């Protein structure tokens, strides 16, 4: 792996009122690797992901992306960064119900002011890659959970992000559909050299990663190291 980490979180602390969600979390993400963030419910995995992605700011500790301190950026800069460099896949409910699947996948490109024809052409390619090209004209409500998740993966990758943040992306799926989503997600990420931060409490899902970071009571234990 290359020398410099893409994302670095150092000794993060973050509380919600009196609840400490992160209590000394440290992790690094190198370009193109798939890192699983594991741990039991309430251990702080999602909070860590939100801090890494600049959605939440830590109370103390530093997150840098490509050497830039996320806390030092303005909110406008951070949200621009999220649109151009990051992609997101959540457990469910992330597609806009009024739009077709094709329009959903094209949306991040449209927000970057790419004209409609070009955006939809690229979106169609991604639907094809995720093996759901036939859903282009359907609305999310007319698809199964597994299909909707593949559309969501296409939408996360269409902008060619450097990092994909996936929080329990298979949490609502059965084994077979979960496997399919994981296989397609990691394959597409590897082909485009995107890193993946994969939050999951399922070991079989973590099996698709290169290494894992374990979160316990807001603290990280990193037993495997990127070499």
Ligand X SMILES: Nc1ncnc2c1ncn2[C@@H]1O[C@H](COP(=O)(O)OP(=O)(O)OP(=O)(O)O)[C@@H](O)[C@H]1O
Q: Give the contact letters, 12-41, x = binds to Mg ion (CB under 5 A), - = no.
A: ------------------------------
Kindly tell me which of 105 and 214 has the beta carbon lying closer to ligand X: 214
By a kind-dependent CB cut-off of 5 to 8 A, residue 204 interacts, out of other proteins, ligand X, Mg ion, none, with other proteins
Task: Please list, in sequence order, all residues whose beta carbon lies within 8 angstroms of the beta carbon of residue 34, skipping any fewer than 6 positions away.
Answer: 186, 189, 190, 195, 196, 198, 208, 209, 210
Residue 116 interacts with other proteins (CB under 8 A)?
no
Partner that binds at residue 223, options ligand X, other proteins, Mg ion, none, CB closer than 5 to 8 Å by kind: other proteins
**Could you tell which of other proteins, ligand X, Mg ion, none binds residue 207, using a CB distance below 5 to 8 A set by kind?**
other proteins
Residue number with CB closer to other proteins (170 or 209)? 209
The listed partner (Mg ion, ligand X, other proteins, none) that binds 116, CB under 5 to 8 Å by sort, is none
Q: Mapped to the 3 state alphabet, what secondary structure does 30-77 carry?
A: CCCCEEEEECCCCCCHHHHHHHHCCCCCCCEEEEEECCEEHHHCCHHH
Q: How far apart are CA 134 and CA 77, in angstroms?
A: 36
| Closest to 154 in 3D by CA, of 115, 200, 193, 107 | 107
Q: Are 11 and 25 in contact (CB under 8 A)?
A: yes
Residue 178: both structure tokens together: 């979960």
CB 81 within 8 A of CB 118: no
Chosen residue from 9, 21, 46, 194 binding Mg ion by CB under 5 A: 46
Please tell me whether residue 203 binds other proteins under the rule CB under 8 A.
yes
Q: How many residues bind other proteins (CB under 8 A)?
A: 16
Which residues make up the interface to other proteins (CB under 8 A)?
40, 183, 202-204, 206-210, 212, 214, 216, 221, 223-224
């Amino acid at each position: 792996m290359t020398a410099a980490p893409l994302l670095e979180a150092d000794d993060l602390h973050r509380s919600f009122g009196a609840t400490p969600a992160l209590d000394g979390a440290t992790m690094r993400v190198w370009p193109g690797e798939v890192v699983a963030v594991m741990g039991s419910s309430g251990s702080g995995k999602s909070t860590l992901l939100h801090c890494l992605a600049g959605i939440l700011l830590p109370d103390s500790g530093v997150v840098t992306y490509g050497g830039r301190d996320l806390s030092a950026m303005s909110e406008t800069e951070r949200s621009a960064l999220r649109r151009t460099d990051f992609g997101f896949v959540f457990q469910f409910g992330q597609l806009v119900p009024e739009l077709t699947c094709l329009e959903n996948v094209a949306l991040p490109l449209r927000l970057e002011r790419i004209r409609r024809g070009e955006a939809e052409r690229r979106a169609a390619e991604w639907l094809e890659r995720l093996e759901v090209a036939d859903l282009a004209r359907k609305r999310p409500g007319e698809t199964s959970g597994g299909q909707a998740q593949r559309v969501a993966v296409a939408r996360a990758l269409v902008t060619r992000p450097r990092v994909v943040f996936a929080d329990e992306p298979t949490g609502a799926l059965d084994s077979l559909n979960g496997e399919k989503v994981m296989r397609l997600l990691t394959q597409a990420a590897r082909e485009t050299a995107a890193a993946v931060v994969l939050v999951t409490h399922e070991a079989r899902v973590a099996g698709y990663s290169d290494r894992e970071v374990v979160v316990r009571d807001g603290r990280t234990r990193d037993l495997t190291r990127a070499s």
